[in-house]
Amino acid sequence: MAGRKLIVVFGATALSGRSRGAQGGSVARALLGDGAFRVRAVTRSPRKKPAEELRRRGAEVVKADQDDEASLERALAGAYGAFVVTNFWEHCSKEKEIEQGQRLADVSKRQGLRHVVFSGLENVHQLTGGRLEVLHFDGKGVVEEYFQKIGVPTTIIRLPFYFENFLTIFKPQKAPQGDTFVLDPRAALDTPRAFGMVEVVGLQTSHSAALVSRSLSSPLLSCLAMLMSALIPPSPRVQRQLKTPLYLLRAGLHFSWDQSLHTELPMGDTPMDGMAVEDLGPVVLGLLKSPGEYIGQVIGLSTGKLTEAEYAAILSQQTGRTVRASKISPEEYEKQDFPGAKETAAMFRFYALKPDRSVALTMKLNPQARTFHQWVGDNKNAF
């Protein structure tokens, strides 16, 4: 017991079902399951259920905060190595993430750690000469360089898009009420079954897809709708209004009945790397067991490269539900009304540049890492 090297794992109590912040939990579970290392799990909430579960599995659980240098000194004392991850999404500040990461690097240096696995990402702003800025990448990229600059023995890993995102913020969606249409001028015209009123949601131009929900259909309303459509001048610029299918036809928009789900990945036909974050743990275990081979390396991870249409097809096949690719553009995506829309659109613009991710090396480090097809099969009931 005493002869085993101690690995400190940050972010170890994050829930594995969440798309953000689950890396440390995967690493802690893999190390505990293997038994080659002692595990010290770092958390700000040592009395909560995830921490208690790690204790039951054999981890030492300590309280520390990445803003509190003294607590980090205690957490890293006596350790051989560490898995270090920072969480931009807690504060959405590039500057704070850099401060936290550099603080962790400084403490790792002072404590004499012999192997740190740091979960980084590219400094997109630097790589693209300022053309793109992805804040939750850029800060990690600065920290990567800092670990190397001050001489901490480090292996840098860069994760791709998490498969788990399809269970949370990128879960395939349908229109919020009623039957749905997909409006797309490229689609074949399919005359609707009723000429009632339809609520148009998010229609921007005649060249962009939009969802509408059918409502208020009745013979009387159908007659009124047809009369109104003759009086309302056609215009494709509608944010959220009641219109008639005939009105939409006169505006030059083809549409079809569709009750399917839709993905929203603004990648067009460019393949995007992905991986289950739950499969990260064995990768980190493999790195820690082979320091001579991997210290000083930057390793991009992936278990597959798929287009949005291919992701949608696999979701359809595995879940038994029709899932279609939305074909949304980054420009359309960033106009959506939710926090982080612009930041996320910038991330997809960078993904379209095909950053270096190696399926072969990922599978070498974790031969059991799942493809998207396998992962959806394991999680189909969650969709």
Higher pLDDT, 219 or 171: 171
Distance CA 243, CA 249 (A): 11
Per-residue model confidence (pLDDT) at position 29: 96
Distance CA 49, CA 45 (A): 9
Q: Work out the end-to-end distance of the chain between its first and last CA atoms, rounded to an integer number of angstroms.
A: 43
Tokens of 154: 């480090």
Task: Please report, for the chain, the start and end positions of each structural domain, with discontinuous segments joined by +.
Answer: 6-162+274-302+356-369, 180-259
**64 to each of 8, 140, 196, 247, how far by Cα in Å?**
11, 20, 60, 61
CATH class assigned to 6-162+274-302+356-369: alpha beta
Distance CA 352, CA 341 (A): 17
Q: Over the stretch 116-151, which tens digit does the pLDDT of each residue have?
A: 999 999 999 999 999 999 999 999 999 999 999 999
Residue pair 140/178 in contact by the 8 Å Cβ criterion: no
Amino acid at 268: G
Q: Over the stretch 283-303, which tens digit does the pLDDT of each residue have?
A: 999 999 999 999 999 999 999
What burial class does residue 231 get, using C-beta atoms within 10 Å of its C-beta: 0-12 exposed, 13-18 middle, 19+ buried? Answer: exposed
Q: Over the stretch 5-30, which tens digit does the pLDDT of each residue have?
A: 999 999 998 654 444 448 999 999 99
Tokens of 383: 């969709």
Q: Is the pLDDT reported for residue 237 higher than 80?
A: no
Distance CA 258, CA 98 (A): 46
Residue pair 368/282 in contact by the 8 Å Cβ criterion: yes
**CB atoms < 10 A from the CB of 28, how many?**
31
pLDDT-based confidence at 251, cuts 50/70/90?
Answer: low
Q: Rounded mean pLDDT of the chain?
A: 83
Per-residue model confidence (pLDDT) at position 170: 87
Residue 202 φ then ψ, to 5°: 80, 20
Tokens of 137: 């990448």
- In sequence order, the 6+-apart residues with CB closer than 8 A to the CB of 221 are 196, 197
- In sequence order, the 6+-apart residues with CB closer than 8 A to the CB of 233 are none
Residue pair 301/160 in contact by the 8 Å Cβ criterion: yes
